[in-house]
A and B are shown apart, each in its own frame.
Chain A
Amino acid sequence: MNAGEGRDHGDGMGRAELLREILAARAEAVPISPDALGTIRARVGRDTRRRRGLAVGFSALATGAAAAVTAVVLSLGSAVPVVPASSTPGPTKPVPTTPVPTTPAPTTGPTTTTPPGLAALPIYLVGTVDGRDVLFREFHSAPGGDLPVRIRGALTDMIDGSPADPDYRTAWPAGAQVRGVRVQGDAIIVDLTVPAETPAQPALALQQLVHTATAVAASSGEPGLTSVRVLVDGASVARLWGVATSEPMVRESSAEILARVWLSSPQHGAVVGRTFHVQIVGTVYEATAVVRVRDAGGGVVRDETVTLDNGAPSRGEVRVSLTLAPGTYTLEAFYYSAKDGSVQGLDDHTIKVR
């Protein structure tokens, strides 16, 4: 028996409550496929035929009660996008789309303020670190408005790929367009038009989309919107560029797909005052990262070890205040390899202090 186990009954009760909350929150985030009943019926049919050698199963009930069942499921408030999942789209309901902004999402370049009518929205872009292609987040100005409008603006910006940092790029092919965005249950539904050409990194492109759409939702106070369903020209497709898209997609594990550490702010090209904040995001061992500042000549003027509020495997953040004389500087964020002490995961931004 653990020595501390019986020590504090009150603490034990609190722990159980906390565990209950955490499990409930985690369970809420589990995506549920929209057509599971259809899948079960098909499997029951196969199972029954195999066992009895007869073609009986769900067919009789399926036609009569399917509509009623769908109605019941929807009335319970479940997130069941009623979208035909077919690789050969027949006549489909038109997807309600958000109004097209009259001007394209402006790419105003790096600024520290957000122009009127625009919102600063998180955009995920691709960068290469230590030979791996991973996602980084920038904040871009995109049209404000309700959530679908914001998501649409952010995705349009993401596809156009005008990163503030020239080291970043988009995995999306030119010519892709967002036709509309809507929210259904806990899923964000994104209707796209895509060019015939397959991009070099389709899976990464789709993760860029999933990360961006869910980040806009989370930053707009909707952290429960954790999955994204992709439609092409208004219809559900089994695969887009070889990636399965019939089910809602969720974020890949951060450790796999995100940069291990990055400079969240200031962004590349930003102009800041003499005293400013540097924000680092990362999933790093012992929550330890390094912020280094080089002057225009490449000389190191600051070198600070910072502690993020969470260590690997969790994603943490830290904000440190720096005061620098006017001039041009390069900020670097990285971590030292626990194995050999080498610099890993370097992200750098050039900024101007006025």
Chain B
Amino acid sequence: MNAHNPGSPLTPSATDSLAISLRAFVTDPQAKPRGPNNWTPPRPSQWTLVFDTETMTDPSQRLRFGCYQLRKGEALNETGLFFDPDALSEDEQGTLVAFAATHDFKCMTHTAFNEDVFFRRAYELRATIIGFNLPFDISRLALGWVPARGSMRGGFSFKMSEKWWRPRVQVKHLSGRAAFIQFTSPTKRNDNPRDRREGRRIVRRGSFIDVKTIAAALLSRSFSLDGLAQHLKTKTQKAKTEEHGGVLSDRYLSYAVTDVQVTWECHLDLSERFGKHDVGLTRMSQILSEASLGKAYLRQMGVRPWRELQPDFPNAVLGAIMGSYFGGRAEVHLRREVRQVLYCDFLSMYPTVCTLMGLWQFVIAKEIRWRDATEEATSFLNEVTLDDLRKPTTWPHLTTLVQIAPEDDIVPIRAHYG
């Protein structure tokens, strides 16, 4: 709908036609019933592989070389360098090999790294694989990719080895900060013969920790590696360099080696912080955001998902609940006028509303019952005043679903603006 403002021909109309979105609740009648999901990934071994890659600065961002540390517990087992022979000149390869020899590092091509370190050490020793912005580094090592399938649909499935029986690595981005990363189920070649004979199938999904993700979840901020190291005051700080994309030098190689050490130290510090949360039923590799941490607390407290406790709750009522839910809310009362504005936002709105409205009872409820409360709601609306609505004692009484017929009212909607 468009309205014309005759007084100001250059001013666009103040009313727009917008496609709005409504929340709903739909079920798949063919879906198999799902039992409670209490699955916790198996604990990884003491081994860890920390690695980082350096790439070209052109749009291809092709791998040039990388550095890794293999550790058992906190003890450094080996350090090494790997490189793409097609991306480095012979002179640069010579520099890299000489640097590795000087520092007693292992040195190999990136395909050898994938086979001997990524699979034969990290995968087979059930190591935790650590990196900063890990999806990017994994994609640099990949020999190919296809779209991922199943639960990882929408993500990438990276081929990391020419050996057909090796599992692929699937990466599915959830946000700019977090991604699911896992090994695919191995082919039979990788199964233990005894497990196969006894009908036992152990799928090793791996334990991947992106330090960037865990830092954002635990510290509620996005960090660069440099910023994180400064924030955590790690012993080793990230080195400075202007040599990205330039001819490979010892100084640049030292910079890359330091990056891996800084990533490890940040991981150690964040592990300690995660340990203080005391949520032993959840692995650190499962933490992808602040919300994951919240879920970990609920799990530790023994709070079971309500749908698991009351699976026969009517879908129609659930649909009404979903339809009334507006998570993010933005209001602009004066539009298309040049005015001085004040940006106003709230922090931690969900937990605040949950506490002030007494919604915790719904989180820990074994069962939710419902009834028609039209008379109560009508009577409440007839009596309530604006002053009452400013009193915290009124807010717990607002946990009622009502259907309204708008009459020149402003009601929240979900739509794409701008």
* B is a partner of A: no
B: residues with CB less than 8 A from A are none
A: residues with CB less than 8 A from B are none
